[in-house]
Amino acid sequence: MSQAQRHARWQSEAMQRGWPAWRRRPLAAVYGVLVLLRQLAFRLGWLKVSRLPVPVLVVGNLVVGGAGKTPTVLSLTEHLRRRGWQPGVISRGHGRRGSGVREVCLQTPVTESGDEPALIRRRSGVPVFVGADRVAAGQALLAAHPDVDLLLCDDGLQHLALHADVSVAVFDERGVGNGWLLPAGLLREPWPPGRWARMPDLVLVQHREDRPPPEVDCPAPVPCFHGRRRLGGSATDTDGRSVPLRDLAAAPFAAVAGLAQPQRFFDMLRAQGCVPERTWALADHAPREAYAPVLAAGLPVVCTEKDRPKLAEVRRAGDPAVWAVALELDIDPAFFDALQARLPAPPSRTGARTGQAAPGSGALSSPHGHQTA
| Helix ranges, 162-314 (H) | 245-248, 262-271, 292-296, 308-314
How does pLDDT run along the chain (373 residues), one tens digit per residue?
777 788 889 999 999 999 999 999 999 999 999 999 999 999 999 999 999 999 999 999 999 987 899 999 999 999 999 999 999 999 999 888 888 999 999 999 998 999 999 999 999 999 999 999 999 999 999 999 999 999 999 999 999 999 999 999 999 999 999 999 999 999 999 999 988 888 999 999 999 888 888 889 998 889 999 999 999 999 999 888 999 999 988 899 999 999 988 999 999 999 999 999 999 999 898 999 999 999 999 999 999 999 999 999 899 989 999 999 998 899 999 999 999 999 999 987 655 554 433 333 333 333 334 433 3
Q: Who contacts 145 (Cβ-Cβ below 8 Å, separation ≥6)?
A: 88, 127
Task: Give me the pLDDT at residue 8, please.
Answer: 86
- Evaluate whether 270 touches 338 at the Cβ level (below 8 Å): no
168 forms bridges with which residues in the sheet? 59, 202
Task: Give me the pLDDT at residue 48, please.
Answer: 97
Stated pTM of the model: 0.89
Would you tell me how many other CB atoms lie within 10 Å of the CB of residue 148?
A: 21
Q: Who contacts 342 (Cβ-Cβ below 8 Å, separation ≥6)?
A: 165, 166, 201, 202
- Evaluate whether 30 touches 189 at the Cβ level (below 8 Å): no
